[in-house]
Amino acid sequence: MLENYDITYKDSANQILIIDKNGLVIESESQLYKNAKGKTIESLHPFFLSITNLLKIENETFNFKCVNLIVDNKNYTVDIELYTNKKEEFAVLVIQDLTNQYIKYQKVAQNRNESEIKSQVLDFNNKLLLEKEAFKDNFIANFSHQVRLPINSIDGFVAQLEESNLEQSQRYNLNIIKNTNGRLKAMVNDIIDISKIEANHFKAYNISYNLTEELNILSNIYKKKCEEKGLQFNIAIDSSCPKYVIADKFRIAQILSNILGNAIKFTNTGSVNLKVNNISKSDKQAKLQFTVKDTGVGIEQTQLKNIFQSFYQISNNTHNDGFGLGLAITKNLVKALKGDISISSKLDLGTTIDVILNFKLDNKQKEQKPIVPKKTTLPNAPTLLIAEPLIKDQNYLLETLLQKQKYNVDLVETGDQVVEALHKKPYDILIMNLKLPTMDGLDTARYIRHSDFNHFNKIPIIVLSTKPSKEEEQYCKNRKINSYVGKPYDKAELIRKINYNIKKKQAQ
C-alpha cells in the first residue's frame, strides 16, 4: 500500500503512515518514527492528539506547517499533511522533514525581522521626538503666556497707581512691588530663553544697526549705575571695530547687560571696565572680543567650573539676592549666537569675562538717523502706537503717517515696550511688526487679547509681515488680529486699513 504514495514523495525526507479511523498505524515507513506500525498515532507525539478527531471526516486534506517534533531526542521541523478518504478506507499521514529549509528560512526571516524591528524602533523614536518637541513648544508657549500675563498685569496696576496721589509710605511699598515684579519678570524671561535654546527653538533676530552707538548707549546706562555705587566705569572701543553690523542687537545687549550687571553687583570699590577689541576682520565679517573686567569680590577657583550652571550662586558672597540665572542664560545666548565665553577670577581681586562673537558687516549701510515724532499733540487726532525694531522701516512708517499730520504717533521697538506703553496711556490702534524682539508680535497680541485691562484688550491691531502669505494671514485672523499688511508696504493700503479700524472702533 505504501508503494502507491512513495512515488510522489520519493525525493524528500518523508515518512508516510497509513492510519485507520481510530488512529492506529496500519503501515509505516521508518525515516523518523521507527517501529510505528501497530501503535496509535497519538502515542508517537502529543501533537497527533489534535488530528485524531479529523480522521472521522471524509475526503478532506489538512495541512500543518512548521511543526516541531522531538524524535529520539532530536529536534525536527516538519510539515504534516493528512488525507482522509471514504468511510471504509484508511487515512494517509505524510510527515515532511524540512528542518534544514526552516533553519535557513529562519535566519533570513530573523534578519528581516530585526531590520523591520530596527526600522520600527527608529520610527517610534522619531515620533516620540516629534511629540516631545511639540510638548516643549506648547509648554514654552503656554508658560510664556500664563506667567507673563499676571506679571504684566501687575505692571499695569503699578503704572496706574504711580499716577495717583499716594502717601510716602504707600509709594515706598509700591516701589517694592514694582522692583520685585521686575526681578520676577527678568527671571521668567531668562527661563523662557533657556527653554527655547535647549529645545532648539531659539532664533536670532539679525538686523543692521550701529554697533558703536549701541555700545555708547549701554555705556551711559551702566556708567550711571556705577556712579550710584561710587564706582568708576570705563569703556574702550578699538578704532578698527566696524560701525555697522548685522546681528541680534537685543540679544547682544542682553549678554553685555547681564555681565555688566553682575560686575557692578559684586564690586564694592574700584571700577568696572568694558573693552571691545577687533580680533579679525574681512570685507564681509568681523570677530570681536568683549571684555568686562571688575575689581570685585572675585570667585574661588573651585567654583569657576560651576559658574555658568543654572541656579548656581557662589557661596562666598553676601549678594545672593538673585536667582543664579544671569550667567547661565548669558552662556546659553552666546552659544546660540555661535560665540564663545570664558571667565577668569581671583578671590578678592576681581573677575574678567571674555565674550567672542562673529558679526556680519553691513558695508552698504549709510548714516541713517531715526525720525523722531513731534512731542506736540494734535487735538482730536487718532493716537497710534507703532512697534518696529528696524530704523529704516520706522522711518518709512513715520514718513507715511506724518506726511499729512493726521495722527499722533508713539514709537517702540520690542514686545515688552508695547505692553508697557499700553498700560501708560490709551491708543486708538496698534501697528506692529510680527518679528518683534523680546516678545514677538503674536505673543504680544495674545497678551493684549487675554488682558483684564479693558482700555486696551480690544484695541485694533494691524500686523506687518516681512514674508506675507495667505496661511500666515489666516493664522493671524484666527488670533483676533484685525488687519494684516505684507512687505513691501503699500502706503494707500496701510492708511486705508488704519482709518477703517479706527472708524470701526469709534462706532462701537
Average pLDDT, the chain: 83
In CATH terms, the superfamily for domain 3-97 is PAS domain (3.30.450.20)
- Can the peptide bond before residue 488 be classed as cis, meaning omega within 30 degrees of 0? yes
Q: Where are the domains of the chain?
A: 3-97, 127-198, 207-361, 383-507
Where do the H-state alpha helices sit in 305-431? 326-336, 391-402, 415-424
pLDDT in tens, 290-329: 999 999 999 888 888 777 775 555 555 545 554 456 688 8
- List the CATH code of the domain at 207-361: 3.30.565.10
pLDDT confidence of 365, banded at 50, 70, 90? Answer: low
For residue 431, which amino acid is it? I
Averaged pLDDT for residues 350-373 = 78
Q: Which CATH class is domain 383-507?
A: alpha beta
Averaged pLDDT for residues 113-142 = 71
- pLDDT: is 370 or 264 the higher one? 264
Percent of the chain with pLDDT over 90: 25
Q: Do domains 3-97 and 207-361 have the same CATH topology?
A: no
pLDDT attached to residue 447: 86
Maximum average pLDDT range among 159-168, 373-382, 453-462: 453-462
Where do the H-state alpha helices sit in 235-350? 249-265, 301-304, 326-336
Whole-prediction pTM: 0.56
For residue 269, which amino acid is it? T
Strand order in the sheet with 74-83: 25-28, 14-19, 91-97, 74-83, 61-71
pLDDT in tens, 399-457: 888 776 688 899 999 888 898 899 888 999 999 999 888 788 888 898 888 887 778 88
Q: Tell me the C-alpha distance between 398 and 409, whole Å.
A: 8
pLDDT confidence of 7, banded at 50, 70, 90? Answer: very low
